[in-house]
Amino acid sequence: MVVTCLQLNSGVRQQTDFSHAKLSAAYGILQHFGGEASGCRPIRLRLGTLSGWDRLDPVGDIASDTRVGEFARSAMPQKAGTRTPNEAKSRSFQGMPISKRLIFVLATLTYLAACQREGAPARHIAADPAFCSQIHTKAAKLSEHLAPLAPLMRTSTGVYPLEEGDVSLVSRAWLAEAAERTIDVQYFIFTADNVGLIAVDYLLRAADRGVHVRVLVDDFMLEAGGDDLLALDAHPNIEIRLYNPTANIGKNLPTKIFNLTTDFRGFNQRMHNKTFIVDGAVAITGGRNIADEYFDYDHEFNFRDRDVLLLGGASIEVQRSFNQFWNNALSVPIGSLVRTAVTPDTATTYRYLHEYACDPRNFWPQVRERIKSVPVAFSRVLESGALVWSDSVTFVSDAPGKNAGTSGIGGGGASTEELIRLVKGAQKSVTIESPYLVTTPLSQGLFREAIARGVRVRILTNSLASTDNLEAFSGYQRERDALLRIGVEIYEFKPDAQERRQLMTSALQAKLEYTPTFGLHAKSMVVDDHIAVIGTFNLDPRSANLNTECFAVIRNARVAQDLRHAMDVDTQPENAWHTTADFNPDGAVGAGKRLKVWFRRVVPKAVL
């Protein structure tokens, strides 16, 4: 389990902290050469998330996420040849001028040096057994809840979009409580903040009941203690594997630099898939990682995001994809990466997690009530008809490694090709939400052709005021006018979007005397009001060519129209600016931030 910088053995939670200057310099240059694999966002103070909702206790923390990648494939030529796969993967780096290679290595050294763990103040954990018994109930097993749906699940897929952060969080908690056989977890980020620690506890409790828990997380930005990971992995029912562990866990600095310089593409190829699967029958996929800001718990920055819950049908495809990643050579057991002669202190680790999760101060009151009422809520969802059944739902996922690597940092993948097919098949409208919008001649050509045949193309992305990734915004900014000339309708999300009052946890808003930044992170598309796409794919070259991505394609008019309505709300004037040839909202931020974006224009779009 990715428990970021979690010194559980000492009973003190530690967190990653970065020098702003080092982080800014390193991340900017790493983005220049495609080393994002999770843009580290600048430090944001998580006020009160660890000390409880009812008082403020600044604790420095950092969250990270892949801020690049979508079906805007870079136009790198395919060349025939007899190179070995490793030679093909590294040729883009070897072909760089020596000056660029040196800059990249120096940037990486700076970046890795900046990623040092620093301790956060310890605090007293006040576990409340009575509260614990309320949120951890011996409710009906998942099979009992699903039994009435068994005939439908064999032939169709139940679809339930998760728009609100707390609902999405509680859904995962309830599924973990109801699980009987297996829980499979696959994420790009799994942070040891409030949400992350509580999530780990739910998985640990499931394992204690005999549920087999498998956790697969990308290695690149994992700032976890090896002993802590080993302690969790030591549980007889928990297995932890890291995807493509070339950059972090179990690697010293010389090894990291060697991996970077000898296999540039491989070093940058990351797993951006996000799936949560229970008993092979229910799955959640979408844009959310496991960290406070994806579930409305952060006091400085939260995301407008989206997941979708799938029952039966396509959940089998999600399970098959997870198994493919799990069994691939790129996914390495934590025990093979971290060697220690010391027996993990599992008792201390597990006790801390249980006590933390039983401290009522770590749950918003709103979330506490929802957790207690979930079994009833699930029945109400079924009775209300909000769960839509469709016999045409598919799950699309890239294969581990994305592509053969014969095109350097290009090459596309299954997710890229499917999105291209969907846009090419559009007849009336294409509506897209992508937090990072970095287009290339290929994606611009797709939009141009669609508009020429009468298709209305609308895209909502982050504004400069709401974005958490200046590098990606600089790529978008460079092509914004070109998109407008093509005829694409562009909307840019506001950092104080009014819809946050409906989507964000009300307890958070009531407590704070200021407005946390609200940024877009949902990755969705609606085609012709009868095809809905919800997943992990950002509209930029990294998602298109380097990072593995996944999404659900739902061919159902009701789901598609409901999703398009939600996206329409996102573009209303109280939530977004309408960008035109005569107006863009860049002026809503200060000159300093605009200057930072301008300097990032040195970063090639092909690696954003």
527 φ, ψ (degrees, to nearest 5): -115, 120
**On the CB side of 191, how many CA atoms lie within 13 Å of its CA?**
27
**On the CB side of 176, how many CA atoms lie within 13 Å of its CA?**
25
Q: Which pLDDT score, from 0 to 100, does residue 89 have? A: 44
Tell me the average pLDDT across 214-233.
83
pLDDT of 187-219, one tens digit each? 998 888 888 888 999 999 999 999 999 999 998
**On the CB side of 315, how many CA atoms lie within 13 Å of its CA?**
26
Do the beta carbons of residue 235 and residue 210 sit within 8 Å? no
pTM exceeds cut of 0.85: no
Domains of the chain with bracketed CATH: 6-11+118-384 (3.30.870.10)
3-state secondary structure of 286: strand
The C-alpha atoms of residue 525 and residue 541 are separated, in whole angstroms, by 17
User: Which of 65-69, 97-101, 467-471, 487-491 is least confident?
Assistant: 65-69
Tell me the average pLDDT across 237-248.
90
The torsion defined by the Cα of 184, 189, 193 and 196, in degrees rounded to 10, comes to: -10
E strand or H helix at 231: helix 226-233
Please give the single-letter amino acid code of residue 544: A
Q: Which pLDDT score, from 0 to 100, does residue 100 have? A: 53
DSSP 585: G
The C-alpha atoms of residue 517 and residue 339 are separated, in whole angstroms, by 41
pLDDT of 248-257, one tens digit each? 776 778 877 8
The C-alpha atoms of residue 118 and residue 349 are separated, in whole angstroms, by 19
Q: What is the CA radius of gyration of the chain?
A: 23
Buried b (16+ CB within 10 A) or exposed e, 329-368: ebbbebbebbeeeeebbbeebbebbbbbbbbbbbbbebbb
Tell me the average pLDDT across 266-277.
92
The most confident of the ranges 67-76, 356-365, 381-390, 413-422 is: 413-422
Asked if residue 406 has pLDDT above 50, the reply is: yes
The C-alpha atoms of residue 548 and residue 400 are separated, in whole angstroms, by 7
Q: Which pLDDT score, from 0 to 100, does residue 123 have? A: 53
User: Which of 139-143, 316-320, 372-376 is least confident?
Assistant: 372-376
Q: Which pLDDT score, from 0 to 100, does residue 539 have? A: 96
Q: Beta 301-304 vs 282-286: how paired, if at all?
A: unpaired
Q: What is the percent of the chain where pLDDT is above 90?
A: 50
Q: Which pLDDT score, from 0 to 100, does residue 513 have? A: 66
Question: Please, which residues have CB within 8 angstroms of residue 417's CB and are 6 or more apart in sequence?
Answer: none
The C-alpha atoms of residue 39 and residue 540 are separated, in whole angstroms, by 14
DSSP 66: -
Q: Which pLDDT score, from 0 to 100, does residue 10 have? A: 32
Question: Please, which residues have CB within 8 angstroms of residue 400's CB and are 6 or more apart in sequence?
Answer: 243, 271, 324, 325, 328, 330, 331, 548
Tell me the average pLDDT across 215-243.
87
Q: Which pLDDT score, from 0 to 100, does residue 344 have? A: 81
Question: Please, which residues have CB within 8 angstroms of residue 39's CB and are 6 or more apart in sequence?
Answer: 27, 31, 64, 65, 66, 67, 68, 468, 469, 471, 472
**On the CB side of 171, how many CA atoms lie within 13 Å of its CA?**
26
Asked if residue 35 has pLDDT above 60, the reply is: no
The C-alpha atoms of residue 255 and residue 248 are separated, in whole angstroms, by 10
With CA atoms as reference, report the closest residue to 367 among 135, 77, 116, 21.
Answer: 135
Alpha helix stretches (DSSP H) within 531-583: 541-545, 557-570
Would you place residue 119 in the very low, low, confident or very high pLDDT band (cuts 50, 70, 90)?
Answer: very low
Q: Which pLDDT score, from 0 to 100, does residue 127 have? A: 81
The C-alpha atoms of residue 217 and residue 274 are separated, in whole angstroms, by 9
Mean pLDDT, all residues of the chain: 79
Would you place residue 552 in the very low, low, confident or very high pLDDT band (cuts 50, 70, 90)?
Answer: very high
| 463 compared with 262, residue with greater pLDDT | 463
Structure tokens at 63: 């969250």
Asked if residue 11 has pLDDT above 70, the reply is: no
Asked if residue 116 has pLDDT above 90, the reply is: no
pLDDT of 37-89, one tens digit each? 333 333 332 322 222 222 222 222 223 333 333 333 333 333 333 343 344 44
Q: Which pLDDT score, from 0 to 100, does residue 305 have? A: 96
User: Which of 108-112, 295-299, 408-412 is least confident?
Assistant: 108-112
Per residue, the 3-state secondary structure of 460-526, as one string, reads: EEECCCCCCCHHHHHHHHHHHHHHHHHCCEEEEECCCCCCHHHHCCHHHHHHCCCCCEEEECCCEEE
Beta-carbon count within 10 A of 605 CB: 20
Beta-carbon count within 10 A of 255 CB: 12
Handedness of CA 254, 258, 264, 267 (dihedral sign): negative
The C-alpha atoms of residue 197 and residue 362 are separated, in whole angstroms, by 10
With CA atoms as reference, report the closest residue to 238 among 257, 216, 215, 259.
Answer: 215
Asked if residue 292 has pLDDT above 80, the reply is: yes
Asked if residue 565 has pLDDT above 60, the reply is: yes
Q: Beta 182-187 vs 212-218: how paired, if at all?
A: parallel
Tell me the average pLDDT across 512-524.
85
Structure tokens at 135: 């949120």
